[in-house]
Structure 1
Amino acid sequence: MNVRVRAFAQLREALGADRTMDVPAGTTMSTLLALLGAESVQAKEALFEENGDLKGHVILMKNGRRVPRSEGGTNALSEGDEVALFPPVAGG
């Protein structure tokens, strides 16, 4: 199944800006992140701590709605879903 992955700011440099990924049916947000992290050392370092946990500042969104970290392993993706990854946002 195909899902769209969009990355912003410094995550864009490591993951690319906007792409479609073909993933197995039943893929969860956590599995998708693991697949992204496995693509390169730069991607892994952008997303994960040394112990393998998702970095605390990465904001996950699915179809325009924020996904709590606690739901990453159970939040299954569907054909055509859009996943967006944001670094921390600050303004002023």
Structure 2
Amino acid sequence: MTKPAEKLSITITAPMAQRIRAEVEAGHYGSTSEVIREALRLWEKQQQELDLLRARVKASIEDPRPRVPIKDVRRRIKERHEAALNEAHDDAA
């Protein structure tokens, strides 16, 4: 069930207000409220993605497994890439 709408009063810069009005006048949105609601939905999505990223970083930092030096990571990537290229070359022959 949809919650009843609540009216808020906000203060924004003149350029922001002009941009919002321009979007409505261009027909991209039906009202200034729709522009703000869409902006909030996008902000919420961004915050969820940021929370997920923070959780992954935290889990990585707290991971008890030994860390792999970046030079070893690069070496492994290069080896895998070369192996894949060689395999692709062999398949083409």
Which structure: larger Rg? 2
TM-score, normalised to structure 2's length?
A: 0.22
Q: Which has the higher contact order (CA 8 A, sep 6+)?
A: 1
Q: Which structure has the highest helix share of the two?
A: 2
